[in-house]
């Protein structure tokens, strides 16, 4: 059970003094760390693009709201209303429909008659409203009935939980569940503005709304509610409960200073005061209450200093005004995502696909990666993605365990420090960490602690990778340690992506529950890998392998196979584009076989460049070994060759038989250089076979390309970022 669900299940059984003592202790620790962003955060004073100013040329707006949380507060509503009437103010009272009290009809009528507003506050105020998308949709129908019954057009969630996309299920003109900056909230991601703004309904939300209203047979209750969106009204002054009960302030000075700051920048002063915590009793207020004096002082300060300068309005009035112009909050146009990969970004197809998909839709994407040479830029923007190269790749001698481990630990430290510093200044919504190694996910420890969600992407399953690379025994103590690290890393992540279905079964059995995992193959990006006009006319037959030069790739088998093929096809050459631990051994093998001029090694190329090179090849080869790792490691090279229209010869491994068949590729027995030579010859000398492969490959690629799964990845990101991880201590707004 997630931490937030557990907390709200036990909350009714934990005495209020205990809960408050914990909150106060956490707040005292947080407060010194948040001075730069609370109570006023620089940058939040910037008006939205196209902001028209307030009605009648007023300098700023003032909106007063009250959340009524229990019977005690319900009994004090009239007293609070009278206090505001005496000082010339009006406000909105937000009632819980199915909470611990029932709202008398005469109270709502009295508020309306006196020019006040009534809005809906959550459904049950139990912290469970956002537990799941399905439950929210069901509860939205109940909330909509109360909105109609109470003639209400506004909503505020309990505990300021929020998911601005899901709220489109409600027939509302406005929501008031967010804030400009407040590090003391359970879900501390502020909207970073002191202005109201328009939240447009996305296509998916429109479809859900249409289905829901159609099923109910009830049209939207208000013309504005039928529009494609609603207005968000963030509170911009700290809540009274935070200020006086949690932080134990004894004066309204913070309120007054923040009010003057908002006024000076032409924003919206919106405050939320709870009648439950205001004691109108002449006796001294108890530990869980405050007197009305601070709130009265706030209203008197408005009258005394700012009389005539502000537009005092009810929330529904502000919503109607803002809806005419629909100003957008730039911060909500895209998410901030960081990716961490111990690889060369420009050559890592899998990372590129994710990063560019996010960047194309408007998200801000930073990638922390390796630097191939000291000539590469440490910071570079590629296709809208900002790449930070934190360190150079270690020396090629990674044959020993220590030589392999130390650069990984160094990169872990560098990426951890980089993410911590950047997240404090500009918080990320999501950290997407790519293995190898699994423990790189711990680089996201501080962003995760402060509310960012974390994806761990399993490119290679590590224990099997280690066994293959270092010839370790499957039952060795090191392998058991790696399996423990695998489990620990999975627990840190909010979601785990695994690169094929065979590994999913193994991973679920060892490390994480199925509901926490999903499979994303190395789907080919057809924007990059697509058929090209053939430009070569040199009379050669080019056999090509692009990728890492590791043992499990079986390239020694491929070179021996080529040695058998070369006498039969003297015009053939074998080109390898890549780098890795086996390169010295492979070059020596080619030399020993007398193939120096026929087997040629090239440096790795960026993805778009290697795609162009691959398109000119006559044959692609994927000669993996069918050992514990290579037998189950999916290779994107097959799909890339197919997408380019180049025939491919593939080792008969378990994973490749799982995803491909003899209609699209030519298989051979893994590890058998005789069989591989025969398979290469058969394809190169059989034009009808090549044409058949090409004809079958086109629909296969169309069904399995990245474009078919890109939407699933983007939805996963959105759902993770939308689901709050509540109940954790935080020190800064995320």
- Model pLDDT for residues 669-702, shown as the tens digit of each residue: 999 999 999 999 999 999 999 999 989 988 888 8
> In sequence order, what are the beta bridge partners of 651?
668
Q: Which pLDDT score, from 0 to 100, does residue 466 have?
A: 83
pLDDT surpasses 50 at 222: no
Bridge partners of residue 366, in order along the sequence: 338, 386
| Average pLDDT score over the chain | 88
Q: pLDDT tens digits, residue range 97-113? A: 999 999 999 999 999 99
Beta partners for residue 121, in sequence order: 156
Candidates 299, 314, 422; CA nearest to 368 is 422
Q: Which helix H or strand E contains 268, and what residues bound it?
A: strand 268-272
Taking CA atoms, 174 is separated from 225, 526, 718, in Å, by 9, 42, 22
Examine the pLDDT at 733 and tell me if it is beyond 60. Answer: no
pLDDT band at 334 (very low <50, low <70, confident <90, very high): confident
Name the nearest CA neighbour of 131 among 715, 732, 727: 727
Instruction: Return the pLDDT at 616.
Output: 94
Is 70 exceeded by the pLDDT of residue 539?
yes
Buried b (16+ CB within 10 A) or exposed e, 398-419: beeeeebeebbeebbeebbebb
- Identify the bridge partners of residue 364 per DSSP, sorted by sequence position: 336
> Is the predicted pLDDT of residue 218 greater than 80, yes or no?
no
Q: What is the pLDDT of residue 208?
A: 44
Task: Report yes or no on whether pTM surpasses 0.85.
Answer: no
Work out the percent of the chain whose per-residue pLDDT is above 70: 91
Position 88 pLDDT exceeds 50: yes
Q: Which residue has the higher pLDDT, 678 or 33?
A: 678
Written as six digits, the tokens of 695 are 């004809």
152-205, pLDDT tens digit by residue?
Answer: 999 999 999 998 889 999 999 999 999 999 988 888 878 889 999 999 875 434
Q: How far apart are CA 225 and CA 214, in angstroms?
A: 15
CB 160 within 8 A of CB 719: no
Q: Is 408 in contact with 441 (CB distance < 8 Å)? A: no
Indicate whether 373 pLDDT > 50: yes
Q: Assign residue 93 a region: left if phi > 0, alpha if psi is -120 to 50, beta otherwise?
A: beta
The residue-averaged pLDDT of 325-352 equals: 87
Relative orientation angle of helices 607-615 and 636-644, to the nearest 10 degrees: 60
**CA 269 to CA 233: how far, in whole Å?**
10
What's the CA gap between 320 and 343, in Å, rounded?
A: 51
Write out pLDDT tens, residues 6-17: 555 666 666 777
Give the pLDDT confidence score for residue 546 in this predicted structure: 95
pLDDT of residue 463: 86
pLDDT-based confidence at 366, cuts 50/70/90?
A: very high
Query: Phi-psi category of 475—alpha, beta or left, where left has phi over 0 and alpha has psi -120 to 50?
Result: alpha
Torsion of CA 619, 622, 625, 630, to 10 degrees: -170
pLDDT of residue 187: 80
How many CA atoms does the CB half-sphere of 432 hold within 13 Å? 27
Lowest mean pLDDT among 400-409, 592-601, 614-623: 400-409
Q: What average pLDDT does range 440-465 have in this prediction? A: 92
Structure tokens belonging to residue 411: 């990169």
Q: How does pLDDT run across 252-270, given as a tens digit for each residue?
A: 999 999 999 999 999 999 9
| Location of structure tokens 């197919």 | 642
Query: How confident is residue 724, by pLDDT bands cut at 50, 70 and 90?
Result: low
Residue 525: predicted pLDDT: 85
Q: Which of 111-120, 140-149, 221-230, 667-676 has the lowest mean pLDDT?
A: 221-230
């Amino acid at each position: 059970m997630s931490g937030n669900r557990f907390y709200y299940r036990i909350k009714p059984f934990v005495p209020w003094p205990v809960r408050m003592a914990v909150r106060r202790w956490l707040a005292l620790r947080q407060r010194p760390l948040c001075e730069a962003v609370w109570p006023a955060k620089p940058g939040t004073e910037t008006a939205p693009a196209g902001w028209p100013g307030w009605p009648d040329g007023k300098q700023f707006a003032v909106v007063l709201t009250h959340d009524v949380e229990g019977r005690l507060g319900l009994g004090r509503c009239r007293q609070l209303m009278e206090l505001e009437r005496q000082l010339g103010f009006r406000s909105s009272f937000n009632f819980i429909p199915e909470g611990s009290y029932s709202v008398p009809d005469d109270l709502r009528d009295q508020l309306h008659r006196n020019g006040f507003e009534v809005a809906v506050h959550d459904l049950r105020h139990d912290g469970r409203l956002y537990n799941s998308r399905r439950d929210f949709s069901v509860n939205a129908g109940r909330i909509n009935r109360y909105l109609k019954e109470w003639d209400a057009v506004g909503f505020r969630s309990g505990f300021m939980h929020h998911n601005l996309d899901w709220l489109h299920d409600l027939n509302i003109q406005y929501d008031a569940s967010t804030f400009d900056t407040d590090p003391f909230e359970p879900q501390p991601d502020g909207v970073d503005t002191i202005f109201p703004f328009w939240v447009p309904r996305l296509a998916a939300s429109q479809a859900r709304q249409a289905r829901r209203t159609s099923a109910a047979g009830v049209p939207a209750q208000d013309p504005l509610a039928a529009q494609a969106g609603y207005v968000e009204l963030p509170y911009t002054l700290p809540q009274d409960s935070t200020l006086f009960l949690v932080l134990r302030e004894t004066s309204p000075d913070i309120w007054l200073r923040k009010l003057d700051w908002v006024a000076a920048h032409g924003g919206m002063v919106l405050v939320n005061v709870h009648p439950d915590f205001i004691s109108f009793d002449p006796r001294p207020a108890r530990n869980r209450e405050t007197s009305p004096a601070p709130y009265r002082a706030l209203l008197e300060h408005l009258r005394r200093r700012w009389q005539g300068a502000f537009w005092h309005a009810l929330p529904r009035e502000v919503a109607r005004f803002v809806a005419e112009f629909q100003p957008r909050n730039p911060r909500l146009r895209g998410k901030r995502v960081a990716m961490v990969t111990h690889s060369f970004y420009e050559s890592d197809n899998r990372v590129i696909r994710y990063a560019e998909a996010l960047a194309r839709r408007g998200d801000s994407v930073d990638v922390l990666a390796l630097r191939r040479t000291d000539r590469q830029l440490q910071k570079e923007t590629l296709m809208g993605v900002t790449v930070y190269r934190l360190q150079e790749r270690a020396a090629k001698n990674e044959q020993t365990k220590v030589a392999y481990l130390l650069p990984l630990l160094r990169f872990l430290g560098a990426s951890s420090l980089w993410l911590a510093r950047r997240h404090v200044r500009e918080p990320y919504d999501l950290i997407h960490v790519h293995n190898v190694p699994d423990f790189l996910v711990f680089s996201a420890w501080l962003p995760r602690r402060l509310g960012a969600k974390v994806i761990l992407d399993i490119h290679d399953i590590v224990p099997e990778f280690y066994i293959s690379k270092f010839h370790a025994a499957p039952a060795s103590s090191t392998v058991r340690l790696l399996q423990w690290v695998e489990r620990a890393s999975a627990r840190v992540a909010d979601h785990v992506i695994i690169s094929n279905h065979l590994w999913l079964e193994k991973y679920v059995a060892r490390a994480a529950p199925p509901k926490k995992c999903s499979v994303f193959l190395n789907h080919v990006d057809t924007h990059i890998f697509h058929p090209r006009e053939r430009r070569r006319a040199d009379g050669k037959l080019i056999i090509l392998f692009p990728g890492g030069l590791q043992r499990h790739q079986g390239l020694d088998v491929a070179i021996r196979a080529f040695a058998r093929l070369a006498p039969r096809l003297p015009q053939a050459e074998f080109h390898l584009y890549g780098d890795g631990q086996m390169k010295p051994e492979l070059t020596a093998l080619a030399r020993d076989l007398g193939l120096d001029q026929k087997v040629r090694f090239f440096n790795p190329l960026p993805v778009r460049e290697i795609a162009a090179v691959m398109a000119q090849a006559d044959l692609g080869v994927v000669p993996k070994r069918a050992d514990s790792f290579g037998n189950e490691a999916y290779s994107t090279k097959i799909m890339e060759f197919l997408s380019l229209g180049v025939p491919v010869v593939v080792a008969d491994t378990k994973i490749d038989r799982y995803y491909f068949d003899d209609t699209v590729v030519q298989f051979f027995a893994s590890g058998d250089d005789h069989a591989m030579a025969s398979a290469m010859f058969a394809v190169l000398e059989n034009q009808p076979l090549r044409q058949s492969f090409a004809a079958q490959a086109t629909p296969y690629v169309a069904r399995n390309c990245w474009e078919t799964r890109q939407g699933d990845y983007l939805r996963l990101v959105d759902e993770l970022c939308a689901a709050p991880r509540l109940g954790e201590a935080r020190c800064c707004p995320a």
